[in-house]
Amino acid sequence: MRRCGLILALAAAAFAGPLACGGGSAGPPTVSFYIFHEPSGAFERGAQMCSRQSNGRYSIRISELPSTADGQRQQLVRRLAASDESIDIMGMDVVWTAEFAEAGWLHQVPGAVRDEVSRGTLEPSLRTATWRGTLYALPYNTNTQLLWYRKDLVPSPPATWAQMIAMGTRLEQQGRPGRVEIQGAQYEALTVWFNSLVASAGGRILDDAGRLALDDTAVLAADTMRRLADSPAADPSLSNQHEDDNRLAFETGRAAFELNYPFIYPSARTNAPEIFRNLGWALYPSTVEGHSSHVTIGGINLGISAFSTHPDLAFDAAVCLRDADNQRFAAVMGGLPPTLESLYDDPGLRRQYPFADTIREALATASVRPLTPAYTNVSLEIQSALSPPSAIQTQSILGRLRSAIGNALNSQGLIP
């Protein structure tokens, strides 16, 4: 009997819980902010600062999403599909914009906010937040890969992939470390690699309207991947490597080159001082001689849920969360590169990022992954067609990619 009472009480609490959060209590309305866990506490600090600066208009409460991008997306999509009103601001991976906007889950960014946000923000970051000419999210932070290399082994950084593979091969043949570290496992980073190579050859996967635009540049890109996989400069675990495996391999001294995000910089300083002393950086190598590279942009945009009960407050809060002060803090403490271009001249940030100018240059000409509501399907098909890189058939790859991506765009067939 007592047990029954306890269960009833728990059930009552469970039902009353969401209602109690919805309002009724005294104090400013709560704006919920769903984003992944950030270990340095930069997001938490931003939420506190903005709540205080709002002078009692709102109070931001952070709810943490799962650690993987897939897990974050699954939770958000499940709740948005059920018209969940408890979500106001969402930290969205740059590739989700089209999917969420097309499903009607995002508020369009109002004109005044759009004008304010567009000022001084990196153009490729804005492009990732735009779908069919409308801005749907506010660029929060960004990220991109650089070419990291060992200055003691490589006198001057290669400008193209062909040069880099040749240099690595020569080093390996001389019995010196010459490996090229890149993410070759079957997951999102394989799409990033392919996208960077296609863009750096002057092509693109989809056009602005979301239609298939793959051409011979895709063959060049796939051929580059295959040539690395076949060369002595490839890591034996290439087809199973993620970002952190590359970082480890580079720190153990087996590699001369690494294509990776700036998180490897503080890590090398702590873990491998010998290698850190000779650590050089350069722009991502190009696919074709004489053509500049266009590395793929990443990062997080802030979107406002269409089911939010106070979108105006949510937009105000989101604008505050991404202001210069909070972006600077997230960059210095959390290692998240800002989307506001002027911050790359900030002395505090430059102390942390000696490579700030290279990042800014890479970001200014960065490429965007395909903009389409079916992005996940498209990306999974690309990964499936290109994995493992050592088995890519250069002659037939274009046809295979075109038919697979064509099906994915119509959300037809089983995804791999």
> Three-class SS of residue 93?
strand
Shortest CB 237 distance to other proteins, Å: 5
Does 374 participate in binding other proteins (rule CB under 8 A)? yes
Told to check if 65 binds other proteins by CB under 8 A, we report no
Q: What angle do CA 353, 37, 109 make, to 5 degrees?
A: 80
When asked if residue 239 is in the footprint of other proteins (CB under 8 A), the reply is: yes
The answer to the question of residue 99 lying near other proteins (CB under 8 A) is: yes
Considering the rule CB under 8 A, would residue 68 count as an interface residue with other proteins?
Answer: no
Compute the least distance from the CB of residue 404 to other proteins, in Å: 11
Neighbours of 192 (CB within 10 A): 25
Of 279, 291, 338, the closest CA to residue 144 belongs to 338
Nearest by Cα to 117 from 138, 91, 141, 132 = 138
Ordered DSSP codes for 304-350 = EBTT-S-HHHHHHHHHHHTSHHHHHHHHHHH---BSBGGGGG-HHHH
Q: Which residues are paired to 126 by β-bridges? A: none
Q: Of these, 49, 77, 213, 319, which contacts other proteins (CB under 8 A)?
A: 77
For other proteins, the closer of residues 63 and 74 by Cβ is 74
Q: What CA–CA distance (Å, rounded) separates 296 from 383? A: 16
Instruction: For residues 199 and 205, give the distance between their C-alpha atoms in angstroms, rounded to a whole number.
Output: 8
Phi and psi at residue 374, in whole multiples of 5°?
-95, 30
**Shortest Cβ distance from residue 334 to other proteins (Å)?**
27
Q: CB of 23: closest distance to other proteins in angstroms? A: 27
Q: Is 377 in the site for other proteins (CB under 8 A)?
A: yes
Among 53, 63, 174, 237, binds other proteins (CB under 8 A): 237
Place of tokens 């914009």: 97
7 binds other proteins (CB under 8 A): no
Nearer to other proteins, 42 or 264 (CB): 264
* C-beta of 77 vs 166, nearer to other proteins: 77
Query: With binding defined as CB under 8 A, does residue 248 bind other proteins?
Result: yes
Block residue for tokens 């097309």? 102
Q: Is 13 in the site for other proteins (CB under 8 A)?
A: no
User: What binding mask, one character per residue, do residues 149-188 give for other proteins by CB under 8 A, x or -?
Assistant: ------------------------------------xx--
Instruction: Select the span of 111-119, 197-205, 232-240, 254-262 touching other proteins (CB under 8 A).
Output: 232-240
What does the buried/exposed string (b/e) look like for 91-119 if buried means 16 or more CB atoms within 10 Å of the residue's CB?
A: bbbbbbbbbbbbeebbbbbeeebbeebee
Asked if 29 contacts 56 with a C-beta cutoff of 8 angstroms, the reply is: no
User: Considering the rule CB under 8 A, would residue 376 count as an interface residue with other proteins?
Assistant: yes
Among 63, 68, 74, 156, binds other proteins (CB under 8 A): 74
Supply the minimum distance, in Å, between the C-beta of residue 319 and other proteins.
27
CB of 210 to other proteins, least distance (A): 13
Shortest distance in whole angstroms from residue 279 CB to other proteins: 22
Distance CA 412, CA 130 (A): 25
Question: CA of 6: how far to CAs of 1, 15, 17, 20, in Å?
Answer: 9, 14, 16, 20
Is 177:153 a contact under the CB 8 Å cutoff?
A: yes
Distance, in Å, from the CA atom of 61 to the CA atom of 160, rounded to the nearest integer, reads: 46
Among 109, 256, 380, 405, binds other proteins (CB under 8 A): 380
Q: Count the residues of the shown chain that bind other proteins, applying the rule CB under 8 A.
A: 30
Q: 190 vs 300, which CB is nearer to other proteins?
A: 190
**Any contact of residue 103 with other proteins (CB under 8 A)?**
yes
**Interacting span for other proteins (CB under 8 A) from 159-167, 204-212, 347-355, 373-381:** 373-381
Looking at beta carbons only, is 292 or 396 nearer to other proteins?
Answer: 396
Query: How many residues appear in the chain?
Result: 416
How many helices (H) and strands (E) the chain has is answered by 18, 11
Q: Does 387 bind other proteins (CB under 8 A)?
A: yes
In the complex, which residues of this chain contact other proteins (CB under 8 A)?
70, 74, 77-78, 81, 99, 102-104, 185-186, 236-237, 239-240, 245, 248, 373-374, 376-377, 380, 387-388, 411-416
